[in-house]
Amino acid sequence: MNRKKITPITSRCLVTLLSAVCAISIPLSGAEGLRLLPESAEALGKVGGRIANLSDPSVVRLNPANLSLIEGTEFMISTSVLHGSTDYTSPGGATASMGAPWKYSGAIYLATNPADSPWAFGMGISSPFGLDIRWASDFQFNLANESKLIPIAFSPGASYQLSDCLTVGFGFDLTWSQLEFTQNYPWFSVIPGSPTGVQKLKGEGWGFAPVASIAWDMDERQRVSVVARAPMKTDYKGSYKVSNIPAPLTPVFASESVFRSEIEQPGSIGIGYSVDIKDDLRIGFDFEWIQNSTHDDIPIDIGANQLLLNGNDRVVLDWENSWNLGWGIEADVTECLTARGGYMYSKSPMPDQTFTPAVPANDRHLISTGLGLKHGCGTIDFAYLLGIYEDRDVRNNQVAAYNGDWEFMWHQFTLSYTRKF
């Protein structure tokens, strides 16, 4: 059987595809790739200082020890709208902008803390990470037409009060996720005159990650909490499809083959400190370390089409450990109205060599504000966050087409409703 040698440009095209697919499967807080920002408006409103003093039902996932702060039984539904822009300028002056700037996410939580028990329990269903990035299919370096990651996390948790000042919490994320990636394929670079094809990767898998936390009330006004989250490994299985295979290559390549990969999302350790400056004024400080160095490389298996990789059966990421640092403030304006504000600096884990536009990120400054309004047994919270990213000048990327100047900007709006029972 004659096997056509795949030219370097075609090989790079597929490696670009696979790099982006693997990148979008990695959890978006800047420091963690694609982990979304907090799922509740209360948390987003004080974005850099929420670990120790957050007290809505979403703590079942963020910090289960804080379930002890819940009063009775509470149900919360939350929705987020994000608007992002990514603008690219090549070294030669060509420009492009990310399409489909609006993104959506949501979550529901239930928590209960019986008055006569040291135990408290909670359950959440959320989308803690994900992305939907689209680029024009005809741009000069053939960026991905679309990168999409759809996750659903089930997060049960519990806390136990060891003493008046010490509480422990534990839980886990059981997460199903589906990733999808579509890109043009230049068959004409293998056989001149051949039409452009379309290649698509689609896979899904389950991941599991435990979380544990501890909260210490130093006195009536000060609280310290530590949260440790284990890495989550997901085995993705699905299909790789490519269209318009030139007739001379049909004995070598298949229009559909298997796709498999194993991706490990990073573990993290966060510490938060909060203090009640006055009865109606609280401030918190957070630091979080994320072990992104686990993203060394990612294995790739596309079955019968493995020859397209030219021996490159894994994608090099070489991400670096990263961190977040910030503060958040909360003030009771009246008995029914609470105002919030926050700031967080988030360090990007991606070096220039492995930067990909499928994860439009860089070091960033996050500024948030929010309001909470109580009425009867219900509370409505609203928050807005502005993500100011530092510009990125990429000149030594493993995919030469990604070299250039990148500019980013993100906005997030979150609305939550909490009902006490």
pLDDT tens digit sequence for 397-413: 887 878 899 998 889 99
Range scoring the smallest mean pLDDT among 4-13, 120-129, 134-143, 289-298: 4-13
Note whether 33 and 380 are within 8 A (CB): no
At 1 the pLDDT is 41
In percent, the amount of the chain with pLDDT more than 70 equals 86
Instruction: Answer whether residue 3 shows pLDDT above 50.
Output: no
Cβ atoms within 10 Å, residue 193: 7
| Of 116 and 125, the one with more pLDDT | 125
Instruction: Answer whether residue 86 shows pLDDT above 80.
Output: yes
Residue of 323, 420, 333, 339 lying closest to 379 (CA atoms): 420
CA distances, 291 to each of 9, 128, 157, 359 (Å): 33, 17, 23, 18
- Sole residue written with tokens 């250039």: 404
Q: Does domain 8-73+106-334+348-359 have CATH number 1.10.260.40?
A: no
CA distances, 271 to each of 216, 222, 357, 376, 388 (Å): 11, 14, 31, 34, 24
Instruction: Answer whether residue 277 shows pLDDT above 90.
Output: yes
* Calpha distance 276→332 (Å, rounded): 11
Rounded to 5 degrees, φ, ψ at 100 are 45, 65
Instruction: Indicate the SS3 state at residue 285.
Output: strand
Element of type H or E holding 62:
helix 59-62
pLDDT digits (tens, 9 = 90+) for 313-358: 777 778 889 999 999 999 999 999 999 999 999 988 888 888 877 6
pLDDT digits (tens, 9 = 90+) for 221-263: 999 999 999 999 999 999 999 999 999 999 989 999 999 998 8
Residue of 27, 24, 25, 19 lying closest to 267 (CA atoms): 27
Beta strand spans in 143-192 (E): 146-161, 166-185
Residue of 233, 256, 308 lying closest to 25 (CA atoms): 233
* Calpha distance 25→150 (Å, rounded): 9
In percent, the amount of the chain with pLDDT more than 90 equals 52
At 159 the pLDDT is 98
Token pair for 191: 């056989």
* Calpha distance 272→368 (Å, rounded): 18
Q: What is the mean pLDDT of the chain?
A: 86
- Sole residue written with tokens 């329990």: 121
Instruction: Answer whether residue 16 shows pLDDT above 80.
Output: no
Residue 295 is which amino acid?
Answer: H
Note whether 267 and 230 are within 8 A (CB): yes
